[in-house]
Chains A and B, each alone.
Chain A
Amino acid sequence: MDSPAIAIRDLTRRFGTFTAVDNVTLDVAPGQFFGFLGPNGAGKSTTIKMMTGLLAPTSGHIELLGLDFATHPLEIKRQIGVVPEGLALFGRLTASEYLRFVGRMYGLGRDTTNSRTEELLDFMNLADEPKKLVTDFSHGMQKKLALAAAVIHGPRILFLDEPFEGVDAIAAGTLKAMLQRMTERGATIFLTSHVLEIVERLCSHVAIIHQGRLVANGSLDELRAGVAASTAGVPGELVRGGGSLSGPQPEEKLTLEELFLRIVSGAGSETPEEPVQELSWLA
């Protein structure tokens, strides 16, 4: 394996006495489309924030593209793109003004910024209303613009926090095509999403975090093998520790959603099989 694009070691973040991320260790190879999954409040966004410099870790080590984040934050930021949870948009600019601003903040020349801005707005179907302010965009349009801003400088790693939430099917198709093209060209994509079908279709590798701890990590087939092994009572591991997972090959092909539910319910207190309590007062 090449030196990983993303290497995090024993990453921990505590808020007072609450541990949001607990000793997470993870490697993502260059060119990988990596899905980072977990239930609400599991620590996904906190992890992404630490990996992108929005949040300082309590302890642990983050290395992106072979550079230590603690010592080379600006060099790293120049080579990564991020669509954070809050989208990081400036509401009172137009889409083209915003993209041109972002390009210049990443050190692109004016001509490059302008040509890429036009290209991206066309690609994202955002060029129809050049005078509309970002604050007046629909949520889906804002998402597309945030993605355009995250890639304008040609990042080598792209971090996406829920990129498909609130995006219509047509736009989602456009985004998926763009992301796949980026990985084909060698970019690494680190994505969190609750839409497991999309993750299953796009991602070659998946990690699952639950209650701050990494409970699974590997390719989908490796996860299936791990689940099958643990179901059969054979000692196996879901979190890859440098080597491949042990255990028998799966007989049935579980979907990512089924895998996710089994892993999460096995790892924590949540039991999805439990019937939902009846809320008699609901219509």
Chain B
Amino acid sequence: MAGVERPGSATRWGFLSPLARGQYAALAWIQTRMFLNGLRTRRGSVELGARILTFFVFSAIAIGPSIGLGIGAYIGVSHGLRLAPAVLLWVLFLAWQFFAALAPALAGQNPELSHLLRYPVSFGTWLVLFLVYGLAAPSTLIGLLWATAIGIGITVARPDLFLWTALTLALFVFFNLLLSRMILAWIERWLAQRRTREIVTAIFLFLALGAQALNPAFHQSGHGSLYGIGRQKPLHLPSRVWNVQKVFPPGLATDSIFQAMQHHPLKGAEDMGWLGVYVLGAGGLLALRLRSESRGENLSEAPRRSTKARAKVRSPALLDFSGPIAAVIEKDLRYLMRSGPMLYNLAAPLVMAVVFGGAMRGNRVSSIRLEYALPIGLVWAFLGLTRLICNNLGAEGDGIQFFFLSPTPMRTVILGKNFFHLVLFLLEAVLISALVIFRFGLPAPSIAAATLAWLLFAIPANFAAGNLLSINMPYRVNMARIRRESGALGNGLLSMLTQFGILAVGAAVIAPCGLLGHNWWATPILLALAVAALFVYLRVLGNVDRMIHFRMESLTLEIMKTN
């Protein structure tokens, strides 16, 4: 029995055991091979290009603020301003979690490791792999860069604090890493099943409505603007707020560094100890979630087998009209209603609209910028649908073959999907418009007309580009998980570029007209562009069957592949 260890023999299962080390090496090797083999294809090269471009984009997003954070930390520490590092660490903490929450839009966050379940991978190894694979997430990279910048700023101001700062920030970074992973893993779990999904949705709606109701009241009560801190008054926080924030990780990290500055290492160590407790808490909750996953939990929506008499088979029709288009819409609607991640994706722009809506109003943004709140809100509404529109076959899985076997032309299938996505967009647009109008009031008629004309251009343009991307760069979507998907980056990047292009066209028309004081001119120009976009959309739709005929094999392979 050479080479095979039987149960009961002295196999070590720790995450540093020889077996685990062999597994890490094997995974590293297979990842390298997959990467190199992927480069042989055009798609693989596009993915690499997209990866490099994404890296630069995120680096650009991260580098500017990191310089500011570093300088802020230097000034704060060198002048003994305790508030400055506290604010910076809070910014880091919130930004990290914000970018992690945007995970689906950023092509996933947590890695999909369920395929490793068939191998003898211990839980410790599983956990290590989960964290290591997740290091490449944009939120982690941005967070690490910002934390490094803060660390450099503090160290330049006080070189003697280098070790202490490094240790504290390392603990703080580790906490953020665990927390973002933990939150997403639990959200994914809650969204996976209908009952928990409904509870989470209800809590979210309650909090969102509560925030909407409280925010204006807060502003009217003369408490001043929370968002305006630092602009209208010198940096000052009430001592109660200061004391409360001190018990949270950013406050603990700040306090630990300042205690060390004031030569109170024991008090600093105590803060660090409490920070360690937070790390253990976040890690524990993450481990709890991953433990279930590593045991192969089934998050399906299937009810337990019923012992009752056979229930009536027919389930009610969602849409009471026949025909393939209605069938496609009904199927996609059922898929959407059963997919937590998809619903999360759709809800994300609304959540952000609530958050930014409050921030913009609180910040007393200039009236010129507020005039454009409606078009900006509608651009935002497209974001939640980008993945659906630009990869509209990705969720079909094995079912993609059915479309190719059925006598329904693919043009009809795609038309049904476009129609469904249009309805979703309109729903989202109405909600966001209502929110924008509620927060900022009605826009000028000329701006409203230009926005409507831009929408008439943007919708067919989006669907035309989306259909092309769906056919030429599809990737398989896992409807049940918020996970990084192979091949999503290239498609995601091009779909984002498309969105920016469509936005840029609108801005290039509306902004000059506004500057010239003739807002009404934008409407006919955009309507002319809308006619052109509709023509392009119809051309693309008319060619769908021909394009799919030539790409049927690769489409089937991409969408049916398991890993």
A binding-site residues for B, Cβ under 8 Å: 52-56, 74-75, 77-78, 82, 84, 86-94, 96-97, 100-102, 104-107, 109-110, 114, 117-118, 121-122, 127-133, 135-136, 149, 281, 283
**Is the C-beta of B41 less than 8 angstroms from some C-beta in chain A?**
no
For residue A104, which residue of chain B has the nearest CB?
A: B327
**Is the C-beta of B1 less than 8 angstroms from some C-beta in chain A?**
yes
Which stretch from B99-107, B306-314, B365-373, B426-434 is at the chain A interface? B306-314
Task: Knowing A105-B327, A118-B313, A127-B310, say if A86 contacts B408 (CB, 8 Å).
Answer: no
Q: Of B310, B331, B404, which one neighbours A93 at CB under 8 angstroms?
A: B331
For residue A95, which residue of chain B has the nearest CB?
A: B313
Q: Which residues of A contact B331 (CB under 8 A)?
A: 90, 93, 97, 101
Report Cα–Cα, A122/B310, bound state, in Å. Answer: 11
**Is the C-beta of B405 less than 8 angstroms from some C-beta in chain A?**
yes
Q: Are B397 and A52 in contact (CB under 8 A)?
A: no
Report Cα–Cα, A222/B555, bound state, in Å. Answer: 41
Q: Can you sample 25 A-B contacts with CB below 8 Å?
A: A54-B401, A77-B407, A89-B402, A90-B331, A90-B335, A90-B396, A91-B399, A92-B338, A94-B315, A100-B327, A104-B322, A104-B323, A104-B324, A106-B408, A107-B324, A109-B322, A118-B314, A127-B310, A127-B313, A129-B302, A130-B311, A131-B303, A136-B300, A136-B302, A149-B402
> In chain B, residues 547-563, which have Cβ atoms closer than 8 Å to a Cβ of chain A?
549, 552-553, 556, 560
Total A-B pairs, Cβ < 8 A: 127
Q: Are A84 and B405 in contact (CB under 8 A)?
A: yes
Report Cα–Cα, A109/B303, bound state, in Å. Answer: 30
Q: How far is the CB of A47 from chain B (nearest CB, A)?
A: 15
Q: Of B2, B315, B405, which one neighbours A52 at CB under 8 angstroms?
A: B405
Q: How far is the CB of B10 from chain A (nearest CB, A)?
A: 20
Q: Which residues of A contact B314 (CB under 8 A)?
A: 96, 114, 117-118
**Is the C-beta of B376 less than 8 angstroms from some C-beta in chain A?**
no
Q: Are A104 and B326 in contact (CB under 8 A)?
A: yes
> In chain B, residues 394-425, which have Cβ atoms closer than 8 Å to a Cβ of chain A?
396-402, 404-409
**Is the C-beta of B301 less than 8 angstroms from some C-beta in chain A?**
yes
Q: Which residues of B contact A131 (CB under 8 A)?
A: 302-303, 311, 315
Report Cα–Cα, A106/B412, bound state, in Å. Answer: 12
For residue B326, which residue of chain A has the nearest CB?
A: A104
Task: Knowing A56-B552, A104-B327, A132-B302, say if A74 contacts B312 (CB, 8 Å).
Answer: no
Task: Knowing A106-B407, A107-B324, A130-B315, say if A84 contacts B397 (CB, 8 Å).
Answer: no
Q: Are B398 and A88 in contact (CB under 8 A)?
A: yes
Q: Which residues of A contact B401 (CB under 8 A)?
A: 54, 84, 86, 88
Q: Are A97 and B338 in contact (CB under 8 A)?
A: no
Task: Knowing A55-B553, A88-B398, say if A105 contacts B1 (CB, 8 Å).
Answer: no
For residue B322, which residue of chain A has the nearest CB?
A: A110
For residue A120, which residue of chain B has the nearest CB?
A: B313
Q: Which residues of A contact B158 (CB under 8 A)?
A: none
Given contact pairs A74-B408, A128-B310, enumerate 19 new A-B contacts (beta carbons under 8 Å): A53-B404, A54-B552, A77-B405, A86-B401, A88-B399, A88-B401, A90-B399, A93-B334, A93-B335, A94-B315, A100-B317, A100-B327, A105-B408, A106-B407, A107-B407, A117-B313, A118-B314, A130-B313, A283-B1
Q: Are A96 and B302 in contact (CB under 8 A)?
A: no
Task: Knowing A133-B301, A136-B302, say if A121 contacts B313 (CB, 8 Å).
Answer: yes
Report Cα–Cα, A171/B556, bound state, in Å. Answer: 29
Q: Are B398 and A91 in contact (CB under 8 A)?
A: yes
Q: Are B327 and A130 in contact (CB under 8 A)?
A: no
Q: Are A89 and B405 in contact (CB under 8 A)?
A: no
Q: Which residues of A contact B323 (CB under 8 A)?
A: 104
Report Cα–Cα, A194/B317, bound state, in Å. Answer: 40
Report Cα–Cα, A89/B335, bound state, in Å. Answer: 13
Report Cα–Cα, A114/B302, bound state, in Å. Answer: 22
Q: Are B302 and A133 in contact (CB under 8 A)?
A: yes
**Is the C-beta of B339 less than 8 angstroms from some C-beta in chain A?**
yes
Task: Knowing A92-B335, A97-B315, A128-B310, say if A281 contacts B1 (CB, 8 Å).
Answer: yes
Q: How far is the CB of A146 from chain B (nearest CB, A)?
A: 9
For residue B560, which residue of chain A has the nearest CB?
A: A86
Report Cα–Cα, A169/B4, bound state, in Å. Answer: 35
Q: Of B335, B396, B399, B405, which one neighbours A53 at CB under 8 angstroms?
A: B405
Q: Which residues of A contact B485 (CB under 8 A)?
A: none
Q: Which residues of A contact B338 (CB under 8 A)?
A: 92, 133
For residue A75, which residue of chain B has the nearest CB?
A: B407
Report Cα–Cα, A75/B406, bound state, in Å. Answer: 10
The 8 A CB mask of B387-398 against A (1 = contact, 0 = none) is 000000000111
For residue B397, which residue of chain A has the nearest CB?
A: A91
Report Cα–Cα, A87/B402, bound state, in Å. Answer: 8
